[in-house]
Amino acid sequence: MRGVIQWFLQRLTGFILFIGLIIHFYVMHYSGTGALDYETVTARLSSPYWKGFDILFLLSILYHGFNGLWGIVTEYIKGSFLLRIVQIVIVAASIGLFITGVRIVV
Ligand code: HEM
Ligand code: HEM
């Protein structure tokens, strides 16, 4: 059951990333030369909609990237001790990056 949920969430976050990256790329590169100014970024991040978008985007990329990596290491690392260490690093990195990202956005 866990495998099915992970597979589904990998597809779902892949879909969110596909849409989100188009929006992110457009905003970052095509919305004028001032789009990355300190003033513009802080003004954008004062909107609850952009905050919501960024947190959903952050959660999606972290889940997608680290769940994908989790699948790869689970398949390739044979020793169970080393695998455990790598899995702990993946979980710790995901949580650390999520907390850091949310603190920046909120
Ligand atoms: C538009 C953006 C993206 C889309 C639409 C997308 C879509 C997908 C889909 C559908 C899968 C599942 C493939 C399968 O089950 O056969 C997948 C797997 C994966 N994705 Fe993404 N992805 C995107 C971006 C990214 C990014 C930016 C990363 C890295 C941070 C990433 C890392 C991975 C990894 C590591 C896997 C697992 C590969 C494997 O198991 O062999 N993806 N992606
Ligand atoms: C040259 C390319 C990129 C530039 C210039 C850029 C720039 C930025 C900027 C300025 C922000 C702050 C939010 C805002 O201004 O609205 C941001 C946020 C974010 N970007 Fe990018 N970005 C780029 C590529 C990417 C890519 C490829 C990804 C994911 C695969 C990504 C994921 C994110 C995420 C998740 C956030 C939210 C950050 C947080 O929670 O702290 N970005 N980006």
Average pLDDT over the chain, rounded to an integer: 94
pLDDT (0 to 100) of residue 33: 79
Q: What is the pLDDT of residue 14?
A: 98
pLDDT at 32: 81
Q: How far is CA 93 from CA 2, 7, 63, 71, 102, in A?
A: 21, 21, 11, 16, 14
Q: Single out the residue of 20, 18, 15, 103 nearest to residue 56, CA to CA.
A: 20
Range of the domain at 98: 2-105
Examine the pLDDT at 45 and tell me if it is beyond 80.
yes
Residue 85 Cβ < 6 Å to ligand 1: no
Judged against a pLDDT cut of 80, whether residue 2 lies above it is answered with: no
Ligand 1 centroid from CA 64, angstroms: 6
CA distances from 31 to 16, 34, 44, 81 (A): 21, 8, 12, 49
Which parts of the chain are beta strand (E)?
none
**Whose CA is closest to atom 34 on ligand 2?**
58
User: What's residue 1's pLDDT?
Assistant: 61
Residue 89 has pLDDT above 90, yes or no: yes
> Ligand 1 centre from 11 Cα, in Å?
8
Give CA–CA dist 5/49, Å, rounded. Answer: 28
The CATH code of the domain that includes 48 is: 1.20.1300.10
The proportion of the chain whose per-residue pLDDT surpasses 70, expressed as a percent, equals: 98
Q: 30-43 pLDDT, tens per residue?
A: 888 788 899 999 99
Taking 70 as the threshold, does the pLDDT of residue 60 lie above it?
yes
Number of domains in the chain: 1
